[in-house]
Amino acid sequence: MEDRFSVHGGGTVGRDERETVARGARLFEAAQAVVVDHGRAAEAVRAALKPLHDAEVKRELDAIPVARLQDVTEGRLRLGSVEKSGLRSVGEVLEAGPYRLRQIPGVGQRTVDQMLAAARRLSEAAHETVAVHIDVERPEPRTTALVMALHVLAEAGPDARRAVDKATVLARRLDPLLADARLALGRIRMLLAGQEKKARAWAAVAGIRSLVDEAERAGLPGLFAQASVDLLRGPATDIAAWVDFELRSAEYYSLLAEISGRQPDVAAAEGFLPDEIAERVRTQHLDDTHRRVSLRGYQAFGARFALAQRKVILGDEMGLGKTIQAIAVLAHLAAVGQSHFMVVCPASVLVNWTREIEARSALRVTVLHGPDRHLAFADWKARGGVGVTTFDALRGFPAPDRGEVALLVVDEAHSVKNPKAKRSQAVAGWAERCERALLMTGTPMENRVVEFHHLVRMLDGDLADSLGEGDARAGSVGFRKAVAPVYLRRNQEDVLTELPSLQHTDQWEELSASDAEAYREAVAAGNFMAMRRAAYMAPEKSAKLDRLREIVQEAGENGQKTVVFSYFKDVLGVVREALAPGESASVPLFGPFTGSVPAGRRQRIVDEFAAVPGPAVLLAQIQAAGIGLNLQAASVVVICEPQIKPTIEHQAVARAHRMGQVRPVRVYRLLATGGVDERLVRLLETKTRLFDAYARRSAVAEASPDAIDVSDTELARRIVEEEQARLGLADERLTAAE
């Protein structure tokens, strides 16, 4: 150190040192500025949110009867005289206050104190649980103010959040160094300082130089400057903010949850994993360098789970952003030096996956599909990036060397639960050779719990062997605990407080004479599938079709888009004829969207449907459109007939009622009385309860998985026989055609 001071004239500083400290000071000011600018934007959101939240809390408290105060105090209060005085709700009790309450005959000070204490406890609970829903159908000044405040942060995007995080860390490191380096800026002070202070000053200058050089290499000065500009730029108009909210509502609600601190229950967001696994996941680093989208807390946890556990099943309910979580994992692995990744998905969502990766990350995407797929595969192997292919195409590609592919993502993984299927074997081979595997499915089990074991076996054979049948029979809690090392599932109701309401309505219709005749003929022939669609075979007198027209007409009058689902192509043809725009009707009609429509065309149909500025109708085969596509432009869903598997209906509805939906969703299921529909509805209710017990969280599941181990063919045969007996056709030939 003596030599160094002699170079600088006994410890004085030169131009380089002063410039270094000046650069550090400028960077510190820029970092502080972006943090302040973000804080100001966030405070504007909180200020706009408060009156809306207070109003929601008041509505909640006004709806709670005074009698609930007895429950809170375990029955100690006597409230008869309070109710007689005209105070009917907890909200009115709080508004009345202690003076007015004390004026009620028979109410003493102790009762007033207890009553208000209980009311405040309910008020505190309401403040914690009540969520603000932004109604796009009825915008008013207060919600417009909130949307405009959120628009500033949404437009700034994830780069602003990244800038704030990096600025906070950088400012914390620079602050003490700049304080110590100030001594080196004064010639006299430096000459008079002791050796220890001089040494600290020179060390601070060196530290500042290192931090500034590192920040400039990472492009932080530009990041901070751009973020501040974006955060100070308001929306052009309130209309622009509302339009952007409709397009990107999921991002707006994510920001709202972050700023308000109203995050979902931690245990629910973490899928109720055992503590030791949850803690390991929490400490997993998640690099966002190559990611262009912000994550919600539960989504970040899901990505960390996949990284920490290496080979997993992400079984989040439909609409929670499994694709975004997968992209976050891909982006992290790319940031830490990995080069090759593979996504396998149904052909119907190939285009969607490609779009999402390109839009949400900086990763290179190669589509491995179509006649040139082998050339594309060779290019992907040579250059790296994310290969996106289909289950069938994957079978034609050579399995990778061990460690060559950093991550295999399998979308709609329930499609490969049958270990005897070639597509399942191909996926299993790749999963074994890849360093990490992420199987994604909102429906990990449809008919048999045992099929779930086959997915687990692709990831961890020892764990699959250890499960056995006993874990399932022990009930869902034991089952979920046993598979926790590889399985994470969260439900919408637990983590998406802002999701609009979902209302299911079963529309029961009496068969017309023509419907009944078609149904009887189908039963006599033993044709199960004909029985299911008999209600549409005489369109001019079809009771179901009449009701469908009414629903679509009502939705159109309200400016709403409708998706009509059926299992059968010919039913969709009948519906199209019935809904086809004529001279008196002008609602655009799209589809039918069936399994035979090419993958690229499917996405275009959905895009065209969403782009229509007013009402529109999309006709879709339920097993084709119920997978992977986003239909949140629609707020009315019609299911033409009940399905054999409850998961098919769940998937279809979740295409509309998902993160990003801004309107309440109404689901109508068209049912005919007295026949196959009634039997299928009872069957669906039983299957749904069992699905909830094992695939969802539940503490009271004792049913055996054997109860859902019934094939579709056997079910069809059973229903046909029962219907033939009911209609007096038992002597007819009994065949259950599929």
What pLDDT is recorded for position 106? Answer: 82
What pLDDT is recorded for position 1? Answer: 37
What pLDDT is recorded for position 737? Answer: 41
| Over residues 327-344, mean pLDDT | 97
Largest CA distance in the chain: 115
Residues 6+ apart with CB under 8 A from 366: 376, 379, 380, 383, 385, 386, 387, 388
- The CA angle 396-309-273, to the nearest 5 degrees, is 125
As beta bridge partners, residue 502 has 665
> From CA 606, how far away is CA 239, in angstroms rounded?
25
Residues 6+ apart with CB under 8 A from 272: 480, 697
- What 3-state class would DSSP assign to 605? helix
- More reliable by pLDDT, 298 or 187: 298
**How confident is the model over 675-685, as pLDDT tens digits?**
999 888 877 66
What pLDDT is recorded for position 559? Answer: 83
Residue carrying the six token digits 């709806």: 63
| Over residues 517-523, mean pLDDT | 93
Domain 58-129 superfamily per CATH: 5' to 3' exonuclease, C-terminal subdomain (1.10.150.20)
Report DSSP state, residue 12: -
The model carries a pTM of 0.70
676 CB-contact burial (10 Å; exposed 0-12 / middle 13-18 / buried 19+): buried
Residues 6+ apart with CB under 8 A from 351: 599, 600, 602, 603
Question: pLDDT tier at 613 (50, 70, 90 boundaries)?
Answer: confident
The half-sphere exposure of 600 on its side-chain side, counting CA atoms within 13 A, is: 3
- What is the DSSP track for 188-241? HHHHHS-HHHHHHHHHHHHHHHHHHHHHHHTTHHHHHHHHHHHHTPPPS-HHHH
Residue ranges, comma separated, of all CATH 3.40.50.10810 domains in the chain are 265-494
| Over residues 470-477, mean pLDDT | 57
**How confident is the model over 124-164, as pLDDT tens digits?**
988 887 888 888 777 899 999 999 999 999 999 888 989 99
- More reliable by pLDDT, 202 or 184: 202
Residue ranges, comma separated, of all CATH 3.40.50.300 domains in the chain are 502-726
Tell me which amino acid residue 334 is.
A
**How confident is the model over 381-400, as pLDDT tens digits?**
999 999 999 999 999 999 99
What pLDDT is recorded for position 73? Answer: 66
What are 584's two structure tokens? Answer: 């008196």
pLDDT at 8 > cutoff 60: no
What pLDDT is recorded for position 352? Answer: 79
Q: CB–CB of 683/715 below 8 Å? A: yes
> From CA 117, how far away is CA 123, in angstroms rounded?
10
Nearest to 563 by CA among 615, 507, 613, 506: 615
pLDDT at 373 > cutoff 60: yes
Question: pLDDT tier at 299 (50, 70, 90 boundaries)?
Answer: very high
Nearest to 551 by CA among 495, 505, 500: 505
What are 165's two structure tokens? Answer: 């995080």
Q: CB–CB of 566/641 below 8 Å? A: yes
| Over residues 263-269, mean pLDDT | 81
Mean pLDDT, the chain, rounded, equals 84
- What is the DSSP track for 349-387? GHHHHHHHHHHHBS--EEEE-STTHHHHHHHHHHH-EEE
What pLDDT is recorded for position 76? Answer: 66
Q: What percent of the chain has pLDDT over 90?
A: 44
Q: What are phi and psi of 210, to 5 degrees?
A: -65, -45
> From CA 130, how far away is CA 58, in angstroms rounded?
10
What pLDDT is recorded for position 633? Answer: 82
Question: pLDDT tier at 686 (50, 70, 90 boundaries)?
Answer: low
The separation between the first and the last C-alpha atoms of the chain, rounded to the nearest angstrom, is: 89
Q: What are phi and psi of 346, to 5 degrees?
A: -65, 150
Residues 6+ apart with CB under 8 A from 684: 642, 643, 646, 649
pLDDT at 697 > cutoff 60: no
pLDDT at 266 > cutoff 70: yes
pLDDT at 472 > cutoff 60: no
Question: pLDDT tier at 728 (50, 70, 90 boundaries)?
Answer: confident
- What 3-state class would DSSP assign to 345? strand
Residue ranges, comma separated, of all CATH 1.10.150.20 domains in the chain are 58-129
Tell me which amino acid residue 317 is.
E
Q: CB–CB of 406/339 below 8 Å? A: yes
What pLDDT is recorded for position 246? Answer: 78
Cis? peptide before 592, omega within 30° of 0: yes
Architecture of the domain made up of 265-494: 3-Layer(aba) Sandwich (3.40)
Q: CB–CB of 265/74 below 8 Å? A: no
| Over residues 177-203, mean pLDDT | 73
What pLDDT is recorded for position 687? Answer: 55
What pLDDT is recorded for position 736? Answer: 42
Question: pLDDT tier at 267 (50, 70, 90 boundaries)?
Answer: confident
pLDDT at 332 > cutoff 90: yes
Long-range CB pairs of 458-464 (<8 Å, 24+ gap) are: 458/416, 458/427, 458/428, 458/431, 458/432, 459/311, 459/312, 459/313, 459/431, 459/486, 460/311, 460/485, 460/486
Most confident of 492-501, 565-574, 616-625: 565-574
pLDDT at 15 > cutoff 90: no
- More reliable by pLDDT, 246 or 122: 122
Question: pLDDT tier at 427 (50, 70, 90 boundaries)?
Answer: very high
What pLDDT is recorded for position 475? Answer: 55
**How confident is the model over 557-599, as pLDDT tens digits?**
778 899 999 999 999 999 999 998 764 456 899 988 887 888 7
Question: pLDDT tier at 700 (50, 70, 90 boundaries)?
Answer: very low
As beta bridge partners, residue 488 has 314
Most confident of 176-180, 508-512, 601-605: 176-180
As beta bridge partners, residue 494 has none
- More reliable by pLDDT, 674 or 626: 674
CATH of region 502-726, choose from 3.40.50.720, 3.40.50.300, 3.20.20.210, 2.70.98.30: 3.40.50.300
- List helix spans (H) across 628-701: 646-654, 676-695
Q: What percent of the chain has pLDDT over 70?
A: 86
Q: What are phi and psi of 118, to 5 degrees?
A: -65, -40
